[in-house]
Amino acid sequence: MKGKIIRMLLVGFIIVFLSACIDSAGKTSNDKEEATGGENVVNIGYSGPLSGAAAYYGENTLNGLEMAVEEINEQGFEVDGKTYKLNLIAYDDKYLPNETAANARRLVQEDDTPVVFTPHSGGIAALQVFNEQENFLIGAYSSEPAITEAGNELTVRIPPSYDGYLEPFTNYAMENFGNKLAALPPVTQYGKDWAEAIKPYWEKAGGEVVHESAIDFSKDTDFFTFLTNALESNPDVLFIGGPSEPTAKVAQQARDLGFEGGFIVMDQAKLDEMKNVTGSYEPLEGSIGTIPLINANYPGTEEFVKKYQEKYNKDPGSEAGFHYLSMYIFVEAMKAAGNVEDATVIREHIQDGLESLPEEKKVYEIEKIDENGGFEINTQYGAVEGGKVVPVSGD
Amino acid sequence: MDIFIQQLFNGLTIGSVYSLVALGLTLVYGILHIPNFAHGALYMLGGYVTLTMMVYLGVNYWISILISIITIGILSVLMDRLVFHPLRKSTPIQHKVAAIGMLLFLEALAQLIWGADYRQMPTPYGQVIQFADVTLTVQRLIIVVAAIAVMILLYLFLKKTFMGASILAMAQNREGASLVGINTNKVAVITFFIAGTLAAIGASLTSPINLVFPGMGHLVILKAFVIIIIGGMGSIPGAILGGYILGFSESIGATYISSDYKDIIAFVLLIVILSIKPQGIFAKGGV
């Protein structure tokens, strides 16, 4: 008996001790941000991973939306003679498509949200099953081309699809380093799709794919084995990708093994996050990838980056920037449509919204929305030259 | 030929880490008679403790490892005393459920404390050495040398000291050991402590060449299971040999067969060895 009590005390002590170690990482989502009373309010829905393995990513996407909503609410916006404010309602879906669907139903039925943002392709697909019937727009953040190819009338794909990266990445790497490519994509559907897209493109451009093997970041502890084999065929360029941090490790270890060529970095990995792992841009010299937002020079980027750093004390990634920008675009579209409720009407006026977007809000430059609902972005790419990221134009 | 030697060294590096983790697992198997699934979580926490010491408190790499060894050793003992020891009279299935529960609990805990993102452990030994046509980094050399040193020390401890002999005796026959006057509680505590230290050493050594994240235990623990099955459950030399067999088969197999079949090679090896020697290469409990 006595032993049992001591044991229970010990367990209690450990729990208290451990909970004292917990820092603010376990932040919970703020369910409702009340707009000040008596005004007209438009509810905006969000469903994304706010807990679990992808929580960090989900938080970044939500930060962008929150920032835009706060700014817009300072003045409100006028539609059809009435002034409206936004009310962002965020639910956690733990990255699970079924949860995304349940959240969206709740958002649409309880709060009449004309727009639901979701930052993962699985969730988007789940919403596409019923969004046309229930008449709400999906603010779809995923570069998977399939989400717009399905022909859903009420989907707006926010980031560029990866198809657009093939040409500039291939041209840059081939011109600067040579035409032998070794592909080391991650073992994910997204990674495989990317590799399947870039290999034929590379060969069509006159190059040669000398080696290919997929890296499984959930199983492999060390990349020396892969890289030794890949470098044996003397490639000029390595195609790498996956989450930023392990991808950076792959690049670093390739340099350790004496690789001197360039890297084509899949859009999932971000050059600035990779630099946090390698310590400097030196090992990444000669990489081409999507441009880190902090290095981009669109009209509104600088101001956004500054405000974001002040508010959240860290550098914004593209996911925060795109969400911030698209919130503004949806508001402009509502203004142009003269309607804050009907998703179909709002969707029809997104092009007008893009055109009337104030210059200083252009964190990215979006020329138009294509017929399938994808934003056509004047894309900038980032290359690492001379120890820093330089923008490379898309043309 | 160069690539063969390079891959041999690569295999030696991963094999060393696998062996260290498998050794801890096999030692505890001697006590619990089930594979301790939570061993992977100890490995992961070992990485985090070293990382926290180095990055947040600015402690020297080796001292950080020492702190990590002690912390994880104690944690491992607590796990035995609070979870497994009270269950000692129940059926093995309850041990297994408890072990899986501990694994899930500790992983969720690590995510709560340190967050879900990948962390980078800096190393003071990042230098690259070119030796003939083989490329190695100082950190990798340290992994190999330190792992072998730890294995030799463990071997001497088990063979030359009374406590070590008691551990082996208990692994062979718990009741017999008890009958000849061995304090089984004390032996269990020491065994769990050693298993924890081995996990912490493995994680601390290998983290600088990879990353620290809550799921990192999965990377090695599945392989450690394969290793102790190949080597023979509970066998010390089996764990060491098994670790290197797996390390080499991965690196050499990836080179001369295909990297896509790397895992298949390991499992085919497992099937072949088990068909010839169903108890593993070394019989249980033997040294």
Query: CB-based contact (8 Å) between B124 and chain A?
Result: no
Query: Which pLDDT belongs to residue B189?
Result: 93
8 Å CB contact of A256 and B135: yes
8 Å CB contact of A277 and B109: no
What is the tens place of the pLDDT at every residue in B132-167? 778 888 999 999 999 999 999 999 999 999 999 999
Q: What is the mean pLDDT of residues A163-174?
A: 90
3-state secondary structure of A269: coil
Chain B residue at shortest CA distance from A232: B3
Residues in A touching B120 (Cβ below 8 Å): 245, 276-277
- Say if residues A340 and A79 touch (Cβ distance below 8 Å): yes
Among B66, B37, B25, residue whose Cα is nearest residue B49: B66
Q: How confident is the model at residue A17 (pLDDT cuts 50, 70, 90)?
A: low
Which tokens sit at A22? Answer: 């917990």
8 Å CB contact of A10 and B137: no
Rg, C-alpha atoms of chain A = 23
Residue A218 DSSP class:
T
Among B154, B146, B195, residue whose Cα is nearest residue B27: B195
Distance from CA of B222 to the nearest CA of A (A): 9
- Say if residues A288 and A382 touch (Cβ distance below 8 Å): yes
Domain-wise residue ranges, chain A: 40-162+299-379, 164-266
Write out residues 185-214 of B within 8 Å (CB-CB) of A.
206, 209-211, 214
Q: What is the mean pLDDT of residues B102-130?
A: 86
Query: Which pLDDT belongs to residue B260?
Result: 75
Q: Tell me how far apart the alpha carbons of residues A298 and A302 are, in angstroms, rounded to a whole number.
A: 8
Q: How confident is the model at residue A394 (pLDDT cuts 50, 70, 90)?
A: low
Residue B281 domain flag:
no
Q: Tell me how far apart the alpha carbons of residues A114 and A45 are, in angstroms, rounded to a whole number.
A: 8
8 Å CB contact of B116 and A53: yes
Query: Which of B14, B16, B120 is best to mutate for the A interface (most A CBs within 10 A)?
Result: B120
3-state secondary structure of A48: strand
pLDDT above 60: residue A2: no
Distance from CA of B50 to the nearest CA of A (A): 15
Query: Which pLDDT belongs to residue A3?
Result: 59
- The lowest-confidence range among A2-6, A58-62, B274-278 is A2-6
What is the enclosing helix (H) or strand (E) of B2?
Answer: helix B2-32
pLDDT above 90: residue A314: no
Query: Which pLDDT belongs to residue B286?
Result: 43
pLDDT above 90: residue B263: no
Please give the share of chain B, as a percent, with pLDDT higher than 90.
Answer: 46
- Say if residues A238 and A211 touch (Cβ distance below 8 Å): no
Chain B residue at shortest CA distance from A256: B128
Query: Which pLDDT belongs to residue A26?
Result: 35
pLDDT above 80: residue A35: no
Q: What is the mean pLDDT of residues A120-141?
A: 93
Looking at the DSSP bridge assignments, the partners of residue A215 are: A186
CB-based contacts of B154, cutoff 8 Å, min separation 6: B23, B194, B198, B236
Q: How confident is the model at residue A22 (pLDDT cuts 50, 70, 90)?
A: very low
pLDDT above 50: residue B287: no
Among A358, A277, A279, A268, residue whose Cα is nearest residue A318: A268
- Say if residues B265 and B223 touch (Cβ distance below 8 Å): no
- Average pLDDT of chain A is 87
pLDDT above 90: residue A7: no
pLDDT above 80: residue B283: no
Residues of A engaging B, defined by a Cβ cutoff of 8 Å = 7, 10-11, 14, 18, 21-23, 25-26, 52-56, 213-214, 218-222, 224-226, 228-229, 232, 243, 245-246, 249, 253, 256-258, 276-277
Residue B82 domain flag:
yes
Residues in A touching B75 (Cβ below 8 Å): none
pLDDT above 50: residue A31: no
* pTM of structure: 0.79
Instruction: Give the Å distances, CA to CA, from A180 to A200, A210, A211.
Output: 13, 6, 9
Q: What are phi and psi of A138, to 5 degrees?
A: -100, 120
What is the tens place of the pLDDT at every residue in B165-193? 999 888 888 888 889 988 988 999 999 99
Looking at the DSSP bridge assignments, the partners of residue A288 are: A264, A383
| Residue among A21, A221, A257 whose CB faces B206 most closely | A221
Query: Which pLDDT belongs to residue B221?
Result: 87
Query: Which of B1, B44, B114, B135 is best to mutate for the A interface (most A CBs within 10 A)?
Result: B135
Instruction: Give the Å distances, CA to CA, from A280 to A272, A274, A283, A285.
Output: 9, 9, 7, 10
| Residue among A14, A225, A249 whose CB faces B7 most closely | A225
Q: Tell me how far apart the alpha carbons of residues B192 and B42 are, in angstroms, rounded to a whole number.
A: 11
Tell me whether strands A77-79 and A82-92 are parallel, antiparallel or unpaired: antiparallel
Domains A40-162+299-379 and A164-266 agree in fold: yes
Residues in B touching A213 (Cβ below 8 Å): 254, 258-260
Q: How confident is the model at residue A11 (pLDDT cuts 50, 70, 90)?
A: low
Q: Tell me how far apart the alpha carbons of residues B170 and B190 are, in angstroms, rounded to a whole number.
A: 12
Looking at the DSSP bridge assignments, the partners of residue A44 are: A88
What is the tens place of the pLDDT at every residue in A317-333? 889 999 999 999 999 99
- Say if residues B151 and B12 touch (Cβ distance below 8 Å): no
3-state secondary structure of A184: strand
Query: CB-based contact (8 Å) between B227 and chain A?
Result: no
8 Å CB contact of B260 and A22: no
Query: Which pLDDT belongs to residue A52?
Result: 67
Query: Which pLDDT belongs to residue A102?
Result: 96
Q: Tell me how far apart the alpha carbons of residues A206 and B273 are, in angstroms, rounded to a whole number.
A: 47
Rounded to the nearest 10 degrees, what angle do helices B162-172 and B184-206 cross at? 100
8 Å CB contact of B109 and A18: yes
CB-based contacts of A127, cutoff 8 Å, min separation 6: A100, A101, A104, A116, A118, A138
- Say if residues B43 and B250 touch (Cβ distance below 8 Å): no
Among B183, B205, B187, residue whose Cα is nearest residue B195: B187
Handedness of CA A350, A355, A360, A366 (dihedral sign): positive
Q: How confident is the model at residue A36 (pLDDT cuts 50, 70, 90)?
A: very low
Q: How confident is the model at residue A30 (pLDDT cuts 50, 70, 90)?
A: very low
Instruction: Give the Å distances, CA to CA, from A392 to A290, B182, B265, B270.
Output: 10, 72, 44, 51
Residues in B touching A192 (Cβ below 8 Å): none
Residue B284 domain flag:
no
Any idea which residue has 């072949």 for tokens? B272
Distance from CA of B125 to the nearest CA of A (A): 13
Query: Which pLDDT belongs to residue B12?
Result: 93
Q: What is the mean pLDDT of residues A311-318?
A: 89
Query: CB-based contact (8 Å) between B115 and chain A?
Result: yes
Tell me whether strands A137-140 and A115-118 are parallel, antiparallel or unpaired: parallel
Query: CB-based contact (8 Å) between B123 and chain A?
Result: no
Residues in A touching B204 (Cβ below 8 Å): none
What is the tens place of the pLDDT at every residue in A227-271? 999 998 999 999 998 888 889 999 999 999 989 999 999 988 889
Query: Which pLDDT belongs to residue B48?
Result: 96
Query: Which pLDDT belongs to residue A16?
Result: 53
Q: What is the mean pLDDT of residues B60-85?
A: 94
Q: Tell me how far apart the alpha carbons of residues B90 and B119 are, in angstroms, rounded to a whole number.
A: 39
N residues, chain B: 287
Please give the share of chain A, as a percent, with pLDDT higher than 90.
Answer: 57
Of residues A135 and A377, the one with the higher pLDDT is A135
Among A258, A219, A220, residue whose Cα is nearest residue A238: A258
Q: How confident is the model at residue A142 (pLDDT cuts 50, 70, 90)?
A: confident
| Residue among A228, A232, A276 whose CB faces B10 most closely | A228
- Say if residues A137 and A154 touch (Cβ distance below 8 Å): yes
Q: Which long-range contacts (CB under 8 A, 24 or more apart) does B186-189 make?
A: B187/B31, B187/B163, B188/B31, B188/B80, B188/B85, B189/B77, B189/B80, B189/B81
Chain B residue at shortest CA distance from A257: B135
- Say if residues A106 and A93 touch (Cβ distance below 8 Å): no
CATH number, domain at B158?
Answer: 1.10.3470
Query: Which pLDDT belongs to residue A6?
Result: 62
- Domain span at residue B113 reads 2-276
Sheet containing strand A77-79, edge to edge, reads A77-79, A82-92, A40-48, A115-118, A137-140, A155-157
Q: How confident is the model at residue A18 (pLDDT cuts 50, 70, 90)?
A: low
What is the enclosing helix (H) or strand (E) of A40?
Answer: strand A40-48
8 Å CB contact of A245 and B109: no
pLDDT above 70: residue A33: no
Residue B43 domain flag:
yes
Q: How confident is the model at residue A183 (pLDDT cuts 50, 70, 90)?
A: very high
Q: Tell me how far apart the alpha carbons of residues A151 and A96 are, in angstroms, rounded to a whole number.
A: 23
- Say if residues A184 and A214 touch (Cβ distance below 8 Å): yes
Residue B80 domain flag:
yes
What is the enclosing helix (H) or strand (E) of A88?
Answer: strand A82-92
pLDDT above 50: residue A24: no
Helix intervals (H) in chain A: 2-21, 55-75, 97-111, 121-128, 131-134, 146-149, 163-177, 189-204, 224-232, 244-256, 271-278, 301-312, 318-337, 343-348, 350-356
- Say if residues A368 and A157 touch (Cβ distance below 8 Å): no
Domain count of the fold of chain B: 1
Q: What is the mean pLDDT of residues B237-260?
A: 87
Please give the share of chain B, as a percent, with pLDDT higher than 70.
Answer: 98
The CATH number of A164-266, from 3.40.190.10, 3.40.50.300, 2.40.50.140, 3.40.50.2300, is 3.40.50.2300
For the domain made up of A40-162+299-379, give the CATH fold: Rossmann fold (3.40.50)
- The lowest-confidence range among A99-113, A287-301, B253-267 is B253-267
